[in-house]
Amino acid sequence: MSESFDLVVVGAGPAGLAAATEAAGLGLSAVVIDEQPEPGGQIYRAVERAARGVAGDALGEDYRHGAGVVAAFRASGAVYRPGLQVWQVEQEGEVLASDGESTTSFVGKRVLIAVGAMERPVPIPGWTLPGVMGVGAAQVMLKASGIVPAGDTWVAGSGPLPLLYLAQVAAAGGRIAGYIDTTPPGNRWTAAAHLGGALRNFPYVRKGLALRAHLKGSGIPVEAADAVAATGDGKVERVRWRVGGQWKEAPCDLLLLHEGVVPNAHVTMAVGCAHDWDDRQRCFRPHLDAWGHTDIGPIMVAGDCGGIEGARAAEVRGRLAALATAAGVGRITAEERDRRAQPLRRELGRHLPIRAFLDTLFAPRRDLLSPADDVVVCRCEAITAKKVRDAVAIGAVGPNQTKAFIRSGMGPCQGRLCGLTVTEVIAEATGKTPGEVGFFRIRPPLKPLTIGELATVTPAG
Amino acid sequence: MLRKLPDPAGGVVTVIVEGRPCEVGPNDTAAAAALLAGIGHTRTSPVTGEPRAPFCMMGVCHECLMVIDGVPSRQACLVTVREGMRIDRQVGPRALQPAGADAHV
């Protein structure tokens, strides 16, 4: 079964929804395919329900902005196909998506990859224990299910999200035992050089300061630390953190980690798009032009999967990609595209200058990027950093060789949780840059698929 | 560890987590149901046998692979609950079903 559109969008977050809304407004046929049952992506997860639910007020005004984005999409006439997992994108513009039983083929004159960000992997001792999760994971549960921490929950990490989550949990009536702030103190000096850009988005800075003030007034203990570990027998029982060379510890039955977000680049990697190493964000991002075109004909990218810029910038990127699509398929002229893009580029100019400040202020510490020998790097295959270093010592020249040598990246997550760490460990061991080392070669299917389903797929055309 | 805020308008769905009935919301995921049921771990690693549990809740980490209504290797964080859904731990490598066998047995 195959369906054809001017624009096929993968991902129903702010970038994908705004792109489809804009495209439909320009008279294009557009479809949004998403693996979640409701539109909004992770940032606006369940925003239609939350607006009337218990958690809605606690989640704050930035979250509620998403209700407008979703409403505009619902009214746009674009087709919405939730609950589908994209497991392959062809370079010619075909997208294969599974509902768990059968696969549908979507063919687009343009395909917009808008699959957003994921939390940066946090390889610390004990991070595979049950009860250790991402702060983003916990926030998803708060948004989608109204679930809050109740016992000895500790948050450990750095960045805007832990501060936001602590405030949201407090407002929703949950309980956090303490916050371990792992932001390297030296970061503030390097970040100071980018303060000018930050102040160009003063409302954002003001919100950040308000979250810090809220944390101070909340009575939640805040511990500065340069290392964190989880311990326990079969589940997390204690959290340990190091301050001034001394280890401290506390009882803990839920440890929430966060060290920033990185592009969810597996789809663009699998398609074969060119990627650049982003040294400031310590991640790979697809090589894009100002409209979101990759180096592969019909494949475009918008939002955080093209580099972390935040939800509001993602909306603008989505609309720019829609304009480029409309011009590309002959619906509007290039002049019309450029005219409509002008206010969007001005808006982007308000959202982007703060990123350098945030990226440097919350830059992850070195031993998180390339962890100590005994730390598990690849969760699926239980591969430690030492095994990766040993593989390099006996001749593995890059991430793909470590797959063959030690199976890192060969488990069900296909390297999503270890890819960047394996790259960083190899870069450190070989004296190369991460960009020179490169990333795992990502192959289809991108999601678990039964052989029976694969056998029923009929290629388009 | 975790608790669900009361939601008077939310409705209730009963799922069977590791053989025990558990009341959750109609929009909750199978992974959230397993965490609320307090079963601790949701799978054991096929490599080391260690217990594992959901980590990312957004379809990335694949730690939440569970057996749902008899079908192994489902990403439980991407499956919305249904009345009577059976949600079981995946112990070690997922079982291979011989052709024609009833996957629900």
Q: Is A36 helix (H, G, I), strand (E, B) or coil?
A: coil
Q: Which residues of A touch B35 (CB under 8 A)?
A: 141, 147
- Cβ distance A416 to B61 less than 8 Å, yes or no, reads yes
Find residues 257-316 of chain A whose CB sits inside 8 Å of chain B. 264
User: What does residue B63 show for φ and ψ, rounded to 5 degrees?
Assistant: -75, -20
Give the residue on B whose Cα is nearest the Cα of A119.
B56
B61 part of contact set with chain A, CB < 8 Å: yes
| CA of residue A367 relative to chain centroid, distance | 21
Give the residue on B whose Cα is nearest the Cα of A147.
B4
Give the best residue of B7, B60, B69, B78 to mutate against chain A (max A CB count within 10 A).
B60
What confidence tens digit (pLDDT) does each residue in A391-403 have? 999 999 999 999 9
Q: Which among A30, A31, A35, A17 has a CA at the least distance from the CA of A99?
A: A35
For the ranges A22-31, A54-63, B39-48, B54-63, the lowest mean pLDDT is seen at A54-63
The pLDDT score that the predictor gives to residue A222 is 96
Q: Which residues contact A320 (CB under 8 A, 6 or more apart)?
A: A290, A291, A292, A302, A341, A344, A345, A348
Instruction: Please tell me the distance from the alpha carbon of residue A223 to that of residue A213, in angstroms, as a whole number.
Output: 16
Q: What does pLDDT average to over chain A?
A: 95
Instruction: Please tell me the distance from the alpha carbon of residue A154 to that of residue A67, in angstroms, as a whole number.
Output: 30
β-pairing, A376-378 with B71-75? unpaired
Q: Which residues contact A226 (CB under 8 A, 6 or more apart)?
A: A182, A184, A242, A243, A365
The pLDDT score that the predictor gives to residue B100 is 44
Q: Tell the CATH topology of B13-89.
A: Ubiquitin-like (UB roll) (3.10.20)
Instruction: Please tell me the distance from the alpha carbon of residue A84 to that of residue A36, in angstroms, as a whole number.
Output: 8
Give the residue on A whose Cα is nearest the Cα of B2.
A149
CA distances A281 to A32, A120, A263, A361, B80, Å, are 28, 10, 10, 11, 34
CA distances A348 to A147, A308, A313, A351, A355, Å, are 34, 13, 6, 5, 12
Q: Taking 70 as the threshold, does the pLDDT of residue A425 lie above it?
A: yes
B72 part of contact set with chain A, CB < 8 Å: no
CA distances A20 to A86, A99, A271, A302, A336, Å, are 17, 21, 21, 11, 18
Provide the pLDDT confidence category of residue B103 given band limits of 50, 70 and 90: very low
Q: Is the peptide bond before A445 cis (omega within 30 degrees of 0)?
A: yes
Distance from CA of A299 to the nearest CA of B (A): 22
Q: Is A409 helix (H, G, I), strand (E, B) or coil?
A: coil
Q: What is the arithmetic mean of pLDDT over A413-428?
A: 97
Distance from CA of A174 to the nearest CA of B (A): 8
pTM: 0.95
- Longest Cα pair distance anywhere in chain A, in angstroms? 65
- Cβ distance A53 to B7 less than 8 Å, yes or no, reads yes
Q: Taking 50 as the threshold, does the pLDDT of residue B101 lie above it?
A: no
Q: Which residues of B touch A379 (CB under 8 A)?
A: 52, 55, 61, 63
Q: What is the arithmetic mean of pLDDT over A267-271?
A: 97
A441 part of contact set with chain B, CB < 8 Å: no
Task: Show me where the domains of chain B are located.
Answer: 13-89
Q: Taking 60 as the threshold, does the pLDDT of residue B99 lie above it?
A: no
Q: Which residues of A touch B1 (CB under 8 A)?
A: 131, 149-151, 153, 253-254
- Cβ distance B32 to A100 less than 8 Å, yes or no, reads no
A43 part of contact set with chain B, CB < 8 Å: no
Distance from CA of B59 to the nearest CA of A (A): 9
Q: Taking 70 as the threshold, does the pLDDT of residue A128 lie above it?
A: yes
Q: Taking 70 as the threshold, does the pLDDT of residue A410 lie above it?
A: yes
Q: Are B28 and B80 in contact (CB under 8 A)?
A: yes
B63 part of contact set with chain A, CB < 8 Å: yes
The pLDDT score that the predictor gives to residue A100 is 86
Size of interface A-B (CB pairs under 8 A): 139
| CA of residue A40 relative to chain centroid, distance | 14
Q: Which residues of B touch A411 (CB under 8 A)?
A: 47, 62
B29 part of contact set with chain A, CB < 8 Å: yes
What confidence tens digit (pLDDT) does each residue in A56-68 have? 788 988 999 999 9
Least CB-CB distance to A137: which of B51, B55, B74?
B55
Q: Which residues of A touch B7 (CB under 8 A)?
A: 53-54, 146
- The string of DSSP letters for A202-270 reads HHHHHHHHHHHHHHHHHT--EEE-SEEEEE-SSS--EEEEEETTEEEEEE-SEEEEEE-EEE--HHHHH
Q: Are A264 and A305 in contact (CB under 8 A)?
A: yes
Q: Are A282 and A261 in contact (CB under 8 A)?
A: no
Least CB-CB distance to A382: which of B27, B47, B75?
B47
Q: Are A325 and A6 in contact (CB under 8 A)?
A: yes
Q: Taking 50 as the threshold, does the pLDDT of residue A253 lie above it?
A: yes
In degrees, rounded to 5, the angle at the alpha carbon of residue B24 between the alpha carbons of residues A449 and A14 is 60
- Cβ distance A413 to B74 less than 8 Å, yes or no, reads no
Q: Which residues of A touch B51 (CB under 8 A)?
A: 130, 234-235
Q: Which residues of B touch A56 (CB under 8 A)?
A: none
User: What does residue A49 show for φ and ψ, rounded to 5 degrees?
Assistant: -75, -40
Number of residues in chain B? 105
Provide the pLDDT confidence category of residue A446 given band limits of 50, 70 and 90: very high
Q: What is the arithmetic mean of pLDDT over A248-255?
A: 98
What confidence tens digit (pLDDT) does each residue in A297-345 have? 999 999 999 999 999 999 999 999 999 999 999 999 999 999 999 999 9
Give the residue on B whose Cα is nearest the Cα of A417.
B61
A251 part of contact set with chain B, CB < 8 Å: no
- Cβ distance B25 to A145 less than 8 Å, yes or no, reads yes
Provide the pLDDT confidence category of residue A2 given band limits of 50, 70 and 90: confident
Least CB-CB distance to B52: which of A128, A149, A150?
A128
Q: Which residues contact A365 (CB under 8 A, 6 or more apart)?
A: A182, A184, A226
Q: Which residues of B touch A134 (CB under 8 A)?
A: 55-57
The pLDDT score that the predictor gives to residue A109 is 98
The pLDDT score that the predictor gives to residue A448 is 83
Percent of chain A with pLDDT over 70: 98
Q: Taking 60 as the threshold, does the pLDDT of residue B104 lie above it?
A: no
ipTM of the complex: 0.94
Give the best residue of B61, B77, B91 to mutate against chain A (max A CB count within 10 A).
B61
Q: Per the structure block, which two tokens stand in for B64?
A: 């939440």
Instruction: Please tell me the distance from the alpha carbon of residue B64 to that of residue B73, in angstroms, as a whole number.
Output: 9
Q: Per the structure block, which two tokens stand in for A335?
A: 């002049």
- Cβ distance B5 to A146 less than 8 Å, yes or no, reads yes
Q: Which residues contact A50 (CB under 8 A, 6 or more apart)?
A: A56, A59, A63, A143
Q: Which among A149, A188, A152, A185 has a CA at the least distance from the CA of A165?
A: A149
